[in-house]
């Protein structure tokens, strides 16, 4: 359900050439609140899980200082794309 609701954020991070700055996928770990506040298939309410990508230079400030997220999953999608390209022989330009 998470990928169905917010998968475009992950998809867009793989489009085009490698960015100059690594992009980090940020998922706020509020799954219980997300589930409890869900109506139908789409999550609603205050417990909605945050899901998106931001430049690596903004992670510390946005995640830990501005949003003050207590539980968060961070994934370097640019590194993942780089490794995928190496494994498949793809040069991202």
Cβ atoms within 10 Å, residue 23: 23
**Mean pLDDT value across residues 32-61:** 69
The residue ranking higher by pLDDT, 31 or 15, is 15
Asked if 77 and 25 touch (Cβ cutoff 8 Å), the reply is yes
Per the prediction, the chain carries an average pLDDT of 77
**Mean pLDDT value across residues 7-27:** 80
Q: 24 burial class (0-12, 13-18, 19+ CB within 10 angstroms)? A: buried
Rounded-to-integer distance, Cα 31 and Cα 37, Å? 10
**Mean pLDDT value across residues 26-44:** 64
pLDDT score for 45: 46
Q: What is the pTM of this model?
A: 0.70
Report percent pLDDT > 70 for the chain.
Answer: 67
| Bridge partner list, 25 | 53, 75
Work out the pLDDT band at 53, boundaries 50, 70, 90.
confident
């Amino acid at each position: 359900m998470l990928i169905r609701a917010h998968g475009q954020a992950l998809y867009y991070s793989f489009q085009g050439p490698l960015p100059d700055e690594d992009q980090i996928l940020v998922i706020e770990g509020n799954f219980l609140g997300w589930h409890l506040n869900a109506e139908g298939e789409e999550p609603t309410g205050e417990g909605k899980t945050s899901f998106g990508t931001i430049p690596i230079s903004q992670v510390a400030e946005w995640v830990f200082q501005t949003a003050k997220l207590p539980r968060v999953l961070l994934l370097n999608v640019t590194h993942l794309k780089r490794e995928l390209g190496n494994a498949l022989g793809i040069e991202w330009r």
